[in-house]
Amino acid sequence: MIMDRLVREASESPVCVGLDTKPEYLPAAIAKMDRDEGDKLFLFNKKVIDATADLAACYKVQVACYEALGIEGMSAYARTLAYAREQGKLTIGDCKRGDIASTAEQYAKGHFEGDFEVDFLTVNAYMGYDAVSPYLPYVKDHDKGLFILTHTSNPSAKDLQEQKLEDGDMVFEKMADLVDEWGKDFIGEEGYSALGAVVGLTYPEAFADIQSRHPHTFFLVPGYGAQGGTGKDIADIFKRSRCAVINSSRGIICAHRGKTEGPDFVDYIRESAQTMKTDIMQWL
């Protein structure tokens, strides 16, 4: 099962490198090349993957950064995913799809087959089971996985996700319960379901709550680095179980900014990924 593989990769290093790549993040050594924007983004991503492959459990690729550049950008998205796969690395399509029925079926086909194929996809299930069920045939028959938004890392997440329901639970707790229920048929050898949850590092109490309620849930955790999360924030989580990959995007791919515009930018990116790994692993 694909989640078993991710769990094993995460046991060596829980670092997830976020390839939320924008043209303004590129060093001059790439930005000034006589190529289209898509080529430049792909070349940058390729070098990031080469520099960090031995430090990262997986790569999360934010599709919006590529959609914004049109056809050139989506070509870079496809090539980035293909290159990561060629290097034997797992990929997460950070697309947060949130529609239902036949539309969700097309999203599932678009992200689990063809040019944009990923191993895992982020899904917004606040429309209920109808927003998840179209993906499940791929989970069952094609060894794919989902990360479902549960308690996100943004400041206004609490506006809805921490509202109390009649039974005393909060909305995010109900969502965590649903993720657990939907994923019971997809638990692998490592004890985790192929349906994981997105829970932000910026809400550690919520994370601890969900982790204790649902020991079979594996987590994709945003919020490290540029959003303020540190290895110490992860310490209590990992003392209970090694149940997550921790994402950093700008903190890694922008590590060269203000330091170099030359081809040595990859050295700063690798150093940042190594520092992140060390920062997390020291608490284990």
Active-site residue list: 96
SS3 17: strand
CA distance 140 to 130: 17
CA distance 232 to 213: 22
Sign of the CA dihedral with 59 first, then 62, 65, and 70 last: positive
> Maximum CA pair distance of the chain?
60
Q: What DSSP element (H or E) covers 212?
A: helix 204-213
In 214-281, where does DSSP find H-type helix? 231-240, 250-253, 265-281
Q: Which amino acid is at 127?
A: M
Q: How many helices (H) and strands (E) does the chain have?
A: 13, 8
Q: Which of 167, 171, 222 is nearest to 196 (CA)?
A: 222
257 φ/ψ sector (left φ>0, alpha ψ -120 to 50, else beta): beta
Residue 67 CB neighbour total at 10 angstroms: 12
Q: Which amino acid is at 28?
A: A
CA distances 228 to 113, 165, 202, 224, Å, are 35, 29, 7, 6
